[in-house]
Amino acid sequence: MPNENLYPLHQNLLKVCNAIQPLSDALQKAIVAQTKVIQVKRKTRLLNAGETSDAIYFIISGAARVYYLDKEGVETTSWFLFENEFLISVYSFFTGEPSFEYLETIEDCTLIMLNRGTLNELYLQYLEFNVIGRKLTEYYYIRNEKQANDLRMLTAKQRYQALFTSNPKLINRVSLGYIASYLGISQETLSRIRKQI
Amino acid sequence: MPNENLYPLHQNLLKVCNAIQPLSDALQKAIVAQTKVIQVKRKTRLLNAGETSDAIYFIISGAARVYYLDKEGVETTSWFLFENEFLISVYSFFTGEPSFEYLETIEDCTLIMLNRGTLNELYLQYLEFNVIGRKLTEYYYIRNEKQANDLRMLTAKQRYQALFTSNPKLINRVSLGYIASYLGISQETLSRIRKQI
DNA sequence: CTAAACTTTTGACAAATGTCAAAAAATGAA
DNA sequence: TTCATTTTTTGACATTTGTCAAAAGTTTAG
């Protein structure tokens, strides 16, 4: 595992990618060279609605969420991301259209930042990297699909229990209001559900 | 546009792929050679829950749906697919795990069938094909995300109206009960919503 | 350490949606 | 075309979830 020593900050990112498909040394080097490690405080907005997303972030440490505003201006959280996950406004990043979502940290974070132009160059220059992109998209697709299915099929209480079961640590790191909007319910309802359990 | 004459049945499939990224002649030829055109009646089950998905289908004509059963055995439709779209159990096809979903036609269909082994060979042999796979997955990802967002944020009536606006033809081709489950509501409620509008 | 800001809980009530059962309407196979 | 089957609608009522307002609890920055 030479990576661990060569690129200490990028170690987990490379590990995640290598687990999908082994990367050539040249590609690993390119990834490290073309990305930037940044530190941001909690509640930092990394993308605003209306802006076009220009970057994807890998979370080394910390937590973040993706949210948007409904017609009445009420926040709805659509995603929580933690260590070793990618923070991205999929729609805006992939289409190049202005985002309807906000990206915001919910804890102090250390992030690896990769911008879109660079990613596309990597896709062109290292065709094997498309495999990684495809597989990651597949993986997140499946997560998203499960979410939609749960929203259709489960009651509020069942959705909370499913989330709690699949991701117990989340409950302690994320405020109730955010979780409620993620589950598609009001925070009062979630508070009452919690008391019952 | 030589494809139109060379491969009449595969014309639209190739057109969809070419629109994402031009395919080499060799790849086009390989796609045509490795796929099989089949005709099936309406209500044909192409995949059962518990089976591992081994194929992806491109719909030349007809319509289909993806559905699954909740704990009480009630059907919930998670997706409708029409001409020039891909019919697939994403979870099972991509992970190789047994499916929790059923694939079923809702009209007589003409389909292009591509099995997983072949697709993976194409991915290996024609690395550029991964770009197509990645982009298609991105596209369907975005659709899925929109669905989850609507389920969280909109009332039943708003969801119906959104569906009607974005896909009016669907309403006439798909029965009310299927649409209701797709929207995450009972069919009685959907029937009442329809009357109001 | 403390005040201000934010988050969670509670109560009372309103609105949305579900359930069950039966009738009406539409569809499709013989 | 006709009858059996499937789909949609309707009514009555139950349940879930939302809303508003206020109180209680917790966290954070100075």
Cross-chain residue pair A141–B140, CB shorter than 8 Å: yes
User: For residue B92, what is the nearest residue in chain A, using CA coordinates?
Assistant: A142
What gap in Å lies between CA B134 and CA B129, rounded to an integer? 9
Q: Which residues of chain A are within 8 Å of residue B153 when distances are taken between CB atoms?
A: 70, 76, 184
What gap in Å lies between CA A194 and CA B15, rounded to an integer? 52
What gap in Å lies between CA A33 and CA B180, rounded to an integer? 51
Sheet with B101-105, edge to edge strand ranges: B45-47, B101-105, B64-69, B75-81
Tally: H helices and E strands in chain B:
10, 8
Mean of the per-residue pLDDT values for chain A?
Answer: 93
What gap in Å lies between CA A151 and CA A137, rounded to an integer? 21
Below-70 pLDDT ranges, chain B: 1-5
The pLDDT tens digits of the residues spanning A80-132 come to 999 999 999 999 999 999 999 999 999 999 999 999 999 999 999 998 898 89
Provide the β-strand partners of residue A154.
none
Contact A46, A109 (CB under 8 A): no
Instruction: Give the distance, in angstroms, between the CA of residue A195 and the centroid of all CA atoms in the same chain.
Output: 29
**Whole-number pLDDT of residue A3:** 46
**Whole-number pLDDT of residue B182:** 97
The token pair at A12 is 């987990």
C11 C1' – A197 CA distance, angstroms?
A: 20
Q: Enumerate domains of chain B plus CATH numbers.
A: 3-127 (2.60.120.10)
Neighbour count for residue B193 (Cβ, 10 Å): 19
Alpha-carbon gap: B130 to the closest alpha carbon of chain A (Å): 6
Q: Could you say which DSSP state residue B52 is in?
A: B
**Whole-number pLDDT of residue B4:** 55
D28 C1' – A179 CA distance, angstroms?
A: 21
The token pair at A18 is 């290598």
Of B91, B140, B148, the CB nearest to A78: B148
Q: Is the pLDDT of residue A134 over 90?
A: no
Of B70, B141, B181, the CB nearest to A144: B141
Q: Which residues of chain A are within 8 Å of residue B94 when distances are taken between CB atoms?
A: 138, 141-142
**Whole-number pLDDT of residue B3:** 46
Residue A150 to residues A65, A142, B76, B141, B184, Cα–Cα distance (Å):
19, 12, 11, 16, 10
Residues 122-181 of B with CB under 7 A from strand D: 175-177
User: For residue B158, what is the nearest residue in chain A, using CA coordinates?
Assistant: A71
List CB contacts of B173: < 8 A, sequence separation 6 or more. Answer: B63, B82, B106, B107
**Whole-number pLDDT of residue B91:** 93
The pLDDT tens digits of the residues spanning B46-68 come to 999 999 999 999 999 999 999 99
Least Cα distance to A67 among A106, A107, A102, A105 occurs for A102
What gap in Å lies between CA B145 and CA B141, rounded to an integer? 6
Of A130, A145, A152, the CB nearest to B130: A130
Cross-chain residue pair A151–B70, CB shorter than 8 Å: no
The dihedral built from the CA positions of residue A164, B184, B146 and B107, taken in this order, carries a sign that is positive
Contact A118, A27 (CB under 8 A): no
Provide the β-strand partners of residue B65.
B80, B104
The token pair at B81 is 């697919």
Contact A160, A183 (CB under 8 A): yes
Cross-chain residue pair B153–A70, CB shorter than 8 Å: yes
B186 reaches A (C-beta below 8 A)? no
The token pair at B74 is 């009630």
What gap in Å lies between CA A177 and CA A184, rounded to an integer? 11
**Whole-number pLDDT of residue A47:** 95
